[in-house]
Amino acid sequence: MRTSLTLLATALLALTACVRVQVHGDPAALAADTPVRIATYNTSLYDDADQGLIRRLEAGDDGARKIAAVLQRVRPDVVLLNEFDYDADGRAAELFQRRYLDVPQHGGEPLRYAYRYYAPVNTGVPSGLDLDRDGRVGGEGRARGNDAWGYGLHPGQYGMLLLSRYPIDAAQVRSFQQFKWSALPGARVPRAPSKQDPASGAAWYPPAVWSQLRLSSKSHWDVPVRTPLGVVHMLVSHPTPPVFDGPEDRNGARNHDEIRLWAEYLSAGERPWLCDDAGRCGGLAADAAFVILGDMNADPVDGDGAPGAIAQLLQHPRVNDAPAPRSAGAPQRAADYGLPRRGDTATHTGDFGPKAGTLRLDYVLPSRNLRLRDSGVFWPARESADAAIADGSDHHLVWVDLGGG
C-alpha cells in the first residue's frame, strides 16, 4: 500500500510540474503540404551563479540576442535548447521569450512559441554521496558539483527548455530523471584499472553508491507534441561529456549508457525495468512517431566518446539519419585547426577550440515513419553575413524538415 501511495504521489507531482511549465496559446495553422521544422540548439545560456541567467537576461545579454537571432532566422516549429538554466518559477524562459524572441534581433523577425516544457534536471542537485571519491561529501565550487547527481554548481545549471508552436500533451510527458544507472541491464560499470591488470579492476563506485546513482546527468524526457503530422514524441536529453574524469572513465561510461537509454526505449520487446519517474514502465510504442533531440556529446568516429556510443542511435532500425545535416562553415573551421578527422567535417556541429577542434555532437534524429524532407546545421560560411550571429554559443543549431507534400 505504501509503495502504491508513493507512486501515486510521484505521478501527481510530475503532472503538476508539466502543467505549470506549459504556456497556453493557439498553435499557428499550417497548410497540409507545409513541413514541420524541428531543431536542437546548445545555447550556452547558463551561469555559474544561482539565478545568474535571470539577472543576465534582465540586464540584456549579447549572447542571448545572438541565440534569439539564429532562432528567428531558422524559425523552427519545435526546438530543444540545451544548456539553458532551469529555475522553478520559469522566469528565465519567460524573459527569453518576451525580451529576446519577441523582439527583432540582428534584423530578424519576432518568433513566438505558445508552448514550452521546462522542468527540473539533475545537474547541481546534491546527492548526499561522495561521487568523486575525494573523501568528502559536497563542499564548495567544483567539489560540490562533482558530488551532485549531475555536475553543476547550482540546481538547474545546464538545464533544458523545449519550445513549441504546437500543443504539448503535458499529461503524457514521461521523465526519467530519477532512473537508476544500476537498473539498466548490462550497464557499463566504471572500474578503476589496476597496475597488474589494466583491463579490469574494482568497481569505481561502492555498492551503496552504485545502487543509488542516477543515470541521467540532466534528464531524459519524452514530450509528446500534437503537430500537423500527428503526435510526435520529442525524446530529449543532454548526456554528460565523456571527459573530466580519470582512468576509470566514469563519464565516458555514463555518456554511453545515457545514449543507450533511448536505444532501449525504442527497441522491441517488454522493458519492465524501464520505469519513469511516475512509475510507468516500458518503452515507446512500436508505431509511435518520434524525434531524438539534443547535444549527445558523442561524435560518430572522432573525439573522446566510447566507441559506438552514438551508433546505438544512428544505426537503430527505427531511426533515420540519412543524410546527416551539413553546413558550409564547419569544414572551414575544421581546416583552420588542421586536426586529423576521420568523419565528414561538414556534419560537425560544434567548435571547441584549437585543442579539441570541431565535432558532430548535436543531433535531430527522426523516426523512419516520418518523411525527412531537408536538414541543415546553422553554421554559415565565414564570408556570409549570417556568420555574425553564429558565435553566440560554441555549438550550432541543427534542424530537420519533416512531412509535408
* Set of cell numbers at residue 51: 539565478
Q: Is the pLDDT of residue 24 over 50?
A: no
* Set of cell numbers at residue 86: 532551469
Q: In what order do the strands lie in the sheet with 115-117?
A: 115-117, 160-164, 78-84, 36-45, 398-402, 372-377
Domains and CATH numbers, the chain: 2-121+156-402 (3.60.10.10)
pLDDT for the residue numbered 33: 73
pLDDT for the residue numbered 194: 61
Nearest-angstrom CA–CA distance, 155 and 85: 9
Q: Is the pLDDT of residue 2 over 70?
A: no
pLDDT for the residue numbered 3: 41
Q: Is the pLDDT of residue 23 over 90?
A: no
Q: Is the pLDDT of residue 270 over 90?
A: yes
H or E element in which residue 43 lies: strand 36-45
In the chain, % of residues over pLDDT 70: 90
User: How confident is the model over 7-24, as a mean pLDDT?
Assistant: 39
User: How confident is the model over 3-32, as a mean pLDDT?
Assistant: 40
Confidence of residue 18 (pLDDT cuts 50, 70, 90): very low
Provide long-range contacts, Cβ within 8 A and 24+ apart, for 249-252: 249/190, 249/306, 250/190, 250/204, 250/205, 252/304, 252/305, 252/306
Q: Greater confidence, 16 or 189?
A: 189
Convert the pLDDT of each residue in 228-263 to its tens digit. 999 999 999 999 999 989 899 999 999 999 999 999
**Phi, psi angles (nearest 5°) of residue 40:** -130, 145
H or E element in which residue 290 lies: strand 289-295
User: How confident is the model over 188-196, as a mean pLDDT?
Assistant: 78
21 touches 94 (CB < 8 A)? no
For residue 137, count CB atoms less than 10 angstroms from its CB and return exposed for 0-12, middle for 13-18, buried for 19 or more.
middle
Q: Which amino acid is at 87?
A: D
74 touches 41 (CB < 8 A)? no
User: How confident is the model over 355-365, as a mean pLDDT?
Assistant: 97
Provide long-range contacts, Cβ within 8 A and 24+ apart, for 199-203: 201/248
Lowest average pLDDT, out of 28-32, 100-104, 185-189, 397-401, goes to 28-32
Instruction: List the one residue out of 28, 39, 19 whose CA is nearest residue 117.
Output: 19
Tell me the pTM.
0.91
pLDDT for the residue numbered 89: 97
Residue owning grid cell 518568433: 111
Confidence of residue 139 (pLDDT cuts 50, 70, 90): confident
Q: How many helices (H) and strands (E) does the chain have?
A: 10, 15
pLDDT for the residue numbered 386: 97
User: How confident is the model over 110-130, as a mean pLDDT?
Assistant: 97
pLDDT for the residue numbered 32: 53
For residue 78, count CB atoms less than 10 angstroms from its CB and return exposed for 0-12, middle for 13-18, buried for 19 or more.
buried
User: How confident is the model over 78-94, as a mean pLDDT?
Assistant: 98
Nearest-angstrom CA–CA distance, 118 and 75: 20
